[in-house]
Amino acid sequence: MGAEVDRDVEVCVWVPCHITCFFEIREHDNPLETGSRGAGFNLNVGVRTIVRLRRSSEVEVSGGNDVSRSVVERMLSGLGVKARAELEHDEPVPMGVGYGVSGATALGAAIATSVALGNVMTVSQAGAVAHVVEVEHMTGLGDVIAQIHGGVEVRVKEGAPGVGVVDKLLHEPDLRLITAILRRVPTREMLTTKREAINKYGRLALARLLRRPSIEVLMREAKAFAEGVGFMDGDVKEVAEEVVERGALGASVKKGVFYALTREGLVNELSSLISERLGGARLVVCGIYDGGPRIIYVRSL
């Protein structure tokens, strides 16, 4: 028995959303070693996950989603703990668009379960469970390790937390991301239909960024990747180029989310332009979040 449920407890954990600018799929036999290399932004918009753990004579997990339930089931079974777990996610943006929501729910569920059991795992150990479940469900390859590190991350070696290697780009504090929800594109579909292009353009983008690591190069390569993979059609490409002409540092599309990086002073003007050009698409304006997951509260039930 690795851990006991000695009280009924509720834990709430917040995890940042994450937009990948570009990536390369790197597969290995061991899912801990499988992942992606690439770069992206962690956002100050995030997912709150609540795990309620109650004493029980069997393992029972409800609520959440397929991925987060699998995470909790795996942790309880692996630790030899019998408990009834209820999951709840507060998602400010939809899943399957490109904000890394699936990874945030998986990581939040893993950390909250660990805390509920008395901090039985480090953040990286809990993150490794979340990463493996994401890989197995084909819902993500690099979000979990990115969300643990925060900031403008550069994944230089693929793999789960504790295996992969993440570097960072420093950024000025007044940068903002204006994001627009365009459409839903399941990660599984993207990984299967666009694999060759993703790997070709993702590998090129990372090599160029590492040669000259700057926010400007990151955004330039993000646009080149999106064009090469086919995320940007003609209309969206025109909007991306127009916001840059108006002062944005760059703009691109990840899966089904358009994003423009700009300074705080231009947010209102560019938000109006993007909303008008993209037919009233829902906008989410956010900053870059430099921390990792955090506990919101722990309380007895």
| pLDDT tens readout for residues 147-203 | 999 999 999 999 999 999 999 999 999 999 999 999 888 888 888 889 999 999 999
- Cβ(155)–Cβ(146) below 8 Å: yes
**Domain of 210?**
171-287
Residue 289: which pLDDT band, with cuts at 50, 70 and 90? very high
Asked if 161 and 199 sit in the same domain, the reply is no
Asked if 283 and 178 sit in the same domain, the reply is yes
CA distance linking residue 85 with residue 54, whole number of Å: 6
Asked if 138 and 277 sit in the same domain, the reply is no
Residue 1: which pLDDT band, with cuts at 50, 70 and 90? very low
How many other CB atoms sit within 10 Å of the CB of residue 284? 17
CATH number at residue 70: 3.30.230.10
pLDDT of residue 201: 98
Asked if 14 and 163 sit in the same domain, the reply is yes
Q: What is the pLDDT of residues 118-147, one digit of tens each?
A: 999 999 999 999 999 999 999 999 999 999
Q: What is the pLDDT of residues 216-227, one digit of tens each?
A: 999 999 999 999
Tell me, yes or no, whether 57 lies in a domain: yes
3-class secondary structure, 214 = coil
Tell me, yes or no, whether 1 lies in a domain: no
Structural domain total, the chain: 2
CATH number at residue 204: 3.30.70.890
- Cβ(13)–Cβ(295) below 8 Å: yes
pTM: 0.96
Asked if 252 and 279 sit in the same domain, the reply is yes
Q: What is the pLDDT of residues 20-60, one digit of tens each?
A: 999 999 999 999 999 999 999 999 999 999 999 999 999 99
Asked if 127 and 230 sit in the same domain, the reply is no
Asked if 40 and 128 sit in the same domain, the reply is yes
What is the rounded average pLDDT for all residues in the chain?
Answer: 96
CA distance linking residue 106 with residue 21, whole number of Å: 21
Tokens of 38: 């690439």
